[in-house]
């Protein structure tokens, strides 16, 4: 019963955040409303962490997904936003205040052998001089948004660039 309460809390938070996400991909909101009525894979959450100049993003090198944003599955008892913050800290050593509006909501599979699930992308801006403390075997690094990097999710980079443009339109100014 407790697990159901935790899952319900996570689903309600995911639905609210999906509804307020800046961008929706893959008809994710409709997918979530259908999927939440049946057995589904764990939700996923990640953080697009930009430097103060909005020129770089913090990524971690996953063993087979290559360079991806810090993130992972939503654990029992937490919301997607809480999971994103936890994963960011576990994978980089950084604690950051996530922007109120989630950056994106999408439906994707994190392995060719796994079913799709809902993923929420949150965003934050941090000082890139803060030392990184990556997980063992999973380096973390700042990557320029105007250069390509290898990733299991090639759509991430243009989506992140689009989000930076949105941040600037909303009044967030690079520190340069």
Q: Check: CB of residue 1 under 8 Å from CB of residue 76.
A: no
Confidence of residue 1 (pLDDT cuts 50, 70, 90): very low
Tokens for 9? 């809390």
Tokens for 54? 């909005």
3-state SS of 11-69 is: HHHHHHHHHHCCEECCCHHHHHHHHCCCCCCCCEEEEEEEECCCCEEEEEEECCCEEEC
Query: What Å distances lie between residue 91 and 22, 47, 80, 138, CA to CA?
Result: 25, 11, 16, 8
Cβ-count burial 11-33 (b if 16+ within 10 Å, e if not) = bebbbebbeebbebeeebeebbe
More confident residue, 149 or 4: 149
Domain ranges of the chain: 2-169
pLDDT > 50? residue 70: yes
Enter the pTM of the model: 0.91
Of the options 3.40.960.10, 2.60.120.620, 2.60.40.10, 3.90.79.10, the CATH number for the domain spanning 2-169: 3.90.79.10
Q: What is the mean pLDDT of residues 121-143?
A: 96
Q: What is the pLDDT of residue 6?
A: 55
């Amino acid at each position: 019963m407790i697990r159901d309460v935790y899952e319900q809390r996570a689903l309600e938070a995911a639905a609210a955040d999906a509804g307020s996400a800046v961008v929706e991909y893959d008809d994710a909101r409709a997918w979530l409303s259908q999927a939440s009525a049946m057995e589904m894979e764990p939700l996923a959450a990640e953080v697009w962490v930009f430097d103060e100049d909005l020129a770089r993003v913090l990524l971690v090198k996953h063993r087979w997904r290559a360079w991806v944003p810090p993130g992972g599955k939503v654990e029992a008892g937490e919301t997607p936003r809480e999971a994103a913050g936890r994963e960011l800290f576990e994978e980089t050593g950084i604690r950051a205040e996530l922007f109120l509006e989630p950056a994106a909501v999408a439906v994707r599979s994190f392995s060719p052998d796994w079913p799709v699930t809902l993923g929420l992308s949150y965003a934050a801006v941090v000082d890139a001089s803060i030392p990184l403390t990556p997980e063992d075997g999973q380096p973390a690094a700042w990557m320029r948004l105007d250069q390509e990097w290898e990733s299991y999710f090639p759509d991430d980079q243009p989506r992140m660039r689009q989000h930076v443009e949105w941040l600037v339109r909303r009044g967030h100014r690079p520190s340069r």
